[in-house]
Structure formats: structure tokens, C-alpha cells
A and B are shown apart, each in its own frame.
Chain A
Amino acid sequence: MRKWASILAAGAMALSASLMATQAWAQDKKITVVTWNIPYFQDGFNLWVDEFKKIHPDFEVERIDMKGTELPTWYQTQVVAGTPPDIVNIQGGLWLEYASQGGLKDLTPYMERDKDYADRLIPEFADNWIYEGKQYGVPLYVTKTLLFLNKIMMEEAGIDKNPESFDEMMEMAEKMTGEGKSGFMTLNFDWLYWPLFKMNGIDFVNEDLTEAAFNTPEAVALVERLADLTERGVIDKISWTGRWVEPNGAFAAGTVGMLHAHAPAYLWFKSKGEWVNEDTVDSIALPGGWATPNSHSLVISEGSKHPDVAWDFVKIATSGVGAKAMGEGTNNLTGDREVNAELMKYFEANVPAVVPALQTELENLDKLTGNWPFAKDAAIKEAFYPEIQAAMLGQKSAEDALNAAEQKVNRILRSR
């Protein structure tokens, strides 16, 4: 009896061990890809996986889609747990925090090795993911800010031309302002409002990114003017308090004359406002051509167990058929120049409404701003924006706000 019990116990242990080994092997042949708030992009993702399996048939691909607000928390807990996802779709300046602390894989050697692939990418957009001379990400889809014009409100205000300077833009905004209506609105997250400063000749930092350069008499005058326009309702207050839903929702309501936002806003507010179409909303570059990029890229975690395999997946997703699927699936342009030409033809035939907005995305690429590679981008934003917000909403004088912001930003720039 005791002998049989021993045999059974040994058998159970052997079975468990073999199951665990199989599971470990299965996990070892798997990469995890995290996408940023595109749960609907499943067909395109499946196409990426099919292409990937052609070169790595023994690998499994796990997909996790997360909302932007949840991704940083989740990602950092995974890093602490020692199980970071291999590939992450990341946006804004978040990657800089991770790259500067050694959390992301340096992709420069891969880019140098795969010259054909690297040459396909639009350099101005690819360069957005360089920190201290190293490439940490490659563009998945590209967007930058532009100006949406509510042509109905413009016509009502007797405006028959597009603004060509900051002053003209604000004069037009003033004309369109009235009972329950504002002339102008901007998105404010991720430095998206910075083109308003840049078009007035204000720089945020010096050239070597070591000291704040924004506290000038011109900046004080500009902030005072923007605050005054906000107080009088010419600039909607939501510009300084909302994030994405609120300002775009307000534009969709048809009560805002001009919206400074990035291209993906178009289809969002079109879905909310029945009045929005190619005839009623125009898309143009901000006067002077300045824009803040807000692109998405794919990065590889430093802790990835299969960085070479992950790189193959990244290449598939960001070029050729993979990039085309991305563009068609999300109505965006990509970092792949050749694919973009095909995508524009596709949009003209299938989604003509987005064409004017997307055309602006490939223009004025020498006038990108608000994309400084600060190691502490989030901390600098957090130091600067609340001060500016307080000034815009009349809580502080422009001078006090800029002085306080300068002190805080310089302290961060000098800190370890």
C-alpha cells in the first residue's frame, strides 16, 4: 500500500514538473505588446501578428490595450515586478522619464543595422524619439497640432479669410465671441498650447536645455493678453482647464470659433457634432506654421527577454503593410513616408473628411515645438503649467506666475 502511494506521489510530482516546464517554455517564447487606447484596432493587430509569425512562427504575441491614463501606472508596476511588457505604444513625453533612467532599450544599433527600414521613416518625426543622441522609439502614427475653423461662426461674424498672424487670429476670435460663444480654444496637455507662445517668439529654454528662457517682457505681455481674452470669454476657459473631452466636446457643440488641437480631434468632434463636415469645418496650419507633435511610438523595454524578436515586431508594425493597416485602422498618418502616400490616396477615396487635417500633418515639419527632450518632462510640465493656468484664469498676475514658474523649472533642470 505504502509502495503504491509512493509511486502515485512520484508520478504526480513528475507530471507537475513537466507541466511547469512546458508553461515556462511557452512563456519564454512569447512577447507582450501594449497598445494605447486602440481596442478597436484588432484586425490590424492580427495582421501584424500574421506577418510576425512568418519570421518567428514559434513565438506567441500577447496584446494588452490600455487607456492612456492607466498605462504609466500599470507599466511601472510591471517594471518593478520584473515583468515589463516587451513592446509599449507610448505617447507624449512619458518615454523620456523611462529612457533617461535606463528603462528603455536603445534602438540605435538596430536602426543602424536595418538601414532600409530607417530610411523609410520621416526624419523629423523619428527624431522626436531621440534622447541624448540615442533612438528610443520609432513612430507608430504621427500627429501634430493645427487650427480647426468653424466656418459657420466665421461667416456669421463676417470673416471671409483665414487668419495669417496671431493678432489676426485673436481679432477674428473677438469678432466671433458673443452670447454663449467663444472665438478661440486650445488643448493644453502635453505642451499642445506652446505654439501660441512660439508664434510670438518666446522660447521655453535655452539651446542646451539647461535654463528657462520663457520669462521675458514679451511673455509677460502675451500671458496678460491671453488672460484678458480668457476673462472676456474670447478664449474659452476650458482651454486652460479641460483635457481632451471637454474642449473637443465644446467645439462639437458649435459654440467655439477656432480650435487649436491635433488631427485626431477632428473625427472625435465630428462624431459628436452633427453639423461638422468638410464644408463647415476647415483645417489649416496655425499662422506661422508652428505645431507641437503628439505622436505615438513603439518602444522596447530594457527588461525585455527578447529584444531582437521585439524589434522585428516593431519594424512590421511601423512600416509597409503593418503601417498601412495602422493608418487605415485609426485614420492617421504614420512615420513611413511611402505608406503615407498610399494612405492619402486611401483617405481621399474613403474618408475625405480627414484629408485637410492630415495634409497639415506633413507640412512645416521644420516648425515643431514643445517637444524638448527633457529627462524630467513630466516634472517640468507640472512645475510650469499650474502657474500659467493660474495666470490665464486671473488667479495670479502674469509676472508673478512666470517668475514662480521660472524658479521652479530652473530648480528641476539643475536637480539630479
Chain B
Amino acid sequence: MAAPTTSTPAPERRRRSPSGKVSFLASQRGRDLTLIWLFLLPSLAIFALYRIIPMAWNVVLSFQFWSPYKPAEFAGLYHYEEMLFYDDAFWQILWNTILFMISAPVGIALALGVALLVNTQIRGRNVYRTIVFMSYPVMTVAVGIIWQWLYNEKVGLINFLLISAGIIDRGIPFLQNFDFALPAVIIASIWQVIGFYMIILLTGLQSIPPNLYEAAAIDGASPAQSFRRITLPLLRPSIFLCFVVGIINSFTAFDLIFVMTGGGPGHATDLLITYIYSTAFTLSKFDYAAAMTVANFLLFVLLAFIANRLAGGEAGAVRREA
């Protein structure tokens, strides 16, 4: 016996108002909606309290002169003018953030290479997988300290290797050098997250049915063609996920920067997030920091929009069963 396909109550059970209309709560749709909102309410309340209200307050703050010690005054677009036309550090830092962000594909490409290697039937592949993944659970502060020592001008392993190989004749102060500092921090960041990317991509690789490769081989496809026509298209969701994680990482890599360079030398390794923090808490310019946070948020929304379009425009959509 088939189950009822509709849950609409029988007409005789509906409660009618004196005017003859069915009351909202008496209708099935009304009850469903009420139930949905009741279930959603706790999460929405928390979301509003910790996300929406602070963000809205932040927007308000960005149009004011405000400090913890004084009442607020309307500032109009003063902080936005400051940010766009006078603060040359802001533009440098925005560029740093973009560079940090576009380094994500490099990490993903490396992780894909590693994932392909450890996905083959080589001996001890689980050991390799573990070794590559090991960097991910390490605390970011520890990662920062490890790489600080690796980059050390006098006793760092990297300088030792470069000098030993005869590539350089004296140590390079990587983290104190305006040209090397940001790439050095980016490398440390990629090293930390590469294990995570690898696991995501490995899972994606293992979910590709082997018969597709077998069929391709029978049709005479070369390994490169199989990779391009089967592996890459089917890995697209995993790569997209890694890309999103990479973008988020570039906006939140506060601890790594803070430990390794503090944003220096100059602003060479400052990201928007570190600059916002130091503007607020070192310079006590909370209002200006709020304006930069709005810019940061808008940039993030723009990137999310682009990423969503690239993913087919339906990321996060809930499909209804027909």
C-alpha cells in the first residue's frame, strides 16, 4: 500500500475564522512554516547576535569618529577617504592579501601532485600520506616558529643548504627582507595547508570509478588525456572546496603573520586582517579599522560571488526532490 503523497489536511479539519478564511496556524503550510522558523530560531538568534549585529554595528562605526573613551560623532565618509586616498599602506596591504590569496592554486597544484602520487599502488603510501598530512594539525603558532628558524639568516636550515650548494655566499634574512618576506610567509602557509588539500583531493580521486579509466585505456587514451578528460573534471568539486579554503585562509592567516613577521618589514607581510587589528588595538583607531573591515567584507563577498559563478552558480543550493 502506497503512503499518502500529500500531507494537506482534510478540508473539514481546518479551523475557519468568522469571515470564513482558514487561520494561518490552522493550515498545514502555516504549521510547517511555524515549525521551520521555530527550529531555525536558535541558530538565527546566535547568528544575528554574533555576526549580523556586530557587522551592522561595524558599518555604523565606519561612518563615525569613535574611541572607547569618547562619545561617537558622525564622520561621513572621512575614514573611507582616508583609506582610499591617503593611506598608501592600505593599498600595499590589499595587494599583499590578493597575492596571498592567489597563492592558493599553487598549493592546490602541489597537493594534487602529491595526492596523485600517494594514490598509486606504491609501497608505504599510507606513511607518505601521514607525513604530508602531519603539518596540518600542527598549531599555526608552532608552524610560524618552525619556519622562523628555517629562514634564520645565521642558523637557518634553508640558508645552510643554499650556502652549502654554493648558490649564495652569505645568509639571506628572508623574513627581514622586503622582497623575500611575503613569499617566505606564503611558502610556510602552503606547507601547513598542503596536507589538508591532499586529503580532500585524495578522497576525490578515490571516488572516481576505476572503470572510467579502464574504458579510456581501451579507447586508447594516454595517461595525460585520462588526467585531463576524466580526473580533472571529476575532481572539480574537491578543487573548488580547496580553493574556497585557500581564499578563507588568506583572509584569516592572522596568527602565522603575527608570529613570523608581525606584518613587517614595513608592511611587506601585512594582510588586511593584521592591519585591521593593529589599526584598532595599537593605534586605537577603531573607527578607521571598521571602515577597512567593511572593505574586507565587500572583497570577501565579491570573491564568494566569483567563486560561486565559477562553480556553476549553485554552490550551497538545496535541491528539492521532484
Contact = CB atoms under 8 A, between A and B. Distances in A.
Interface of A: 72-73, 76, 79-80, 97-98, 101-103, 180, 237-238, 240-243, 253, 302, 376, 378-379, 382, 386, 389-390, 393, 395, 411, 416
B176 A238 contact: yes
Contacts of A241: 173, 175-176, 264-265
Contacts of B177: 393
Contacts of B86: 411
A103 B68 contact: yes
Contacts of B265: 240-241, 389-390, 393
Given A389-B266, A395-B266, A79 B176 contact: no
B69 A102 contact: yes
B282 interface: yes
B176 A237 contact: yes
Contact of B284 (A101, A180, A395, A411): A101
Interface of B: 65, 67-70, 86, 89, 153-154, 173, 175-178, 262, 264-267, 278, 281-285
A243 B261 CA distance: 11
A379 B283 contact: yes
B283 A382 contact: yes
A389 B68 CA distance: 31
Instruction: Tell me the dominant secondary structure on chain A's binding face.
Output: helix
B103 to A, nearest CB: 22
Given A241-B173, A241-B176, A386 B281 contact: no
A167 B252 CA distance: 47
B42 to A, nearest CB: 25
A350 to B, nearest CB: 35
A177 to B, nearest CB: 13
A409 to B, nearest CB: 13
Given A386-B267, A393-B178, A103 B69 contact: yes
Contacts of A72: 281-282, 284
A73 B281 contact: yes
20 contacts: A79-B69, A101-B68, A101-B69, A101-B284, A237-B153, A237-B173, A238-B173, A238-B176, A241-B173, A241-B264, A241-B265, A243-B262, A253-B154, A378-B282, A379-B283, A379-B285, A389-B266, A390-B178, A395-B266, A416-B65
B272 to A, nearest CB: 16
B114 to A, nearest CB: 34
Contacts, number: 67
Contacts of A180: 154
Contacts of A98: 69, 284
B70 A102 contact: yes
Listed from nearest, the 3 A-B pairs whose CB atoms lie closest are A241-B176, A103-B69, A101-B69
A393 B179 CA distance: 11
A382 B279 CA distance: 10
B266 A386 contact: yes
A98 B86 CA distance: 25
B257 to A, nearest CB: 14
A121 B181 CA distance: 46
Contacts of A393: 176-178, 265
Contacts of B282: 72, 378, 382
A395 B178 contact: yes
Contacts of A302: 69
B150 to A, nearest CB: 16
B65 A97 contact: no
Nearest to B152: A246
Contacts of B153: 237
Contacts of A389: 264-266
B283 A386 contact: no
B159 to A, nearest CB: 12
A313 B286 CA distance: 32
Given A386-B267, A389-B265, A76 B176 contact: no
Given A241-B176, A386-B89, A101 B67 contact: yes
A414 to B, nearest CB: 12
Nearest to B288: A379
A101 B177 CA distance: 37
Nearest to B87: A408
Given A237-B173, A386-B266, A390-B266, A378 B284 contact: yes
A338 to B, nearest CB: 36
A101 B176 contact: no
Contact of A101 (B70, B262, B283): B70
Contacts of B281: 72-73, 76
Contacts of A411: 86
Contacts of A80: 68
A411 B89 CA distance: 15
Contact of A76 (B68, B89, B175, B264): B68
A389 B266 CA distance: 7
A276 to B, nearest CB: 19
Contacts of B68: 76, 79-80, 101, 103
Contacts of A103: 68-69
Nearest to B70: A101
A382 B288 CA distance: 15
A379 B50 CA distance: 30
A101 B65 CA distance: 12
A79 B282 CA distance: 15
Nearest to B75: A416
B271 to A, nearest CB: 16
Contacts of A386: 89, 264, 266-267
Interface centre among A80, A180, A241 (most CB of B within 10 A): A241
Given A240-B265, A382-B283, A390-B178, 11 more contacts: A79-B68, A80-B68, A101-B69, A238-B173, A238-B176, A241-B173, A241-B176, A241-B264, A378-B284, A379-B285, A389-B265
Interface centre among B177, B282, B285 (most CB of A within 10 A): B282
Contacts of B89: 386
A378 B278 CA distance: 10
Nearest to A71: B281
Contacts of A101: 67-70, 284
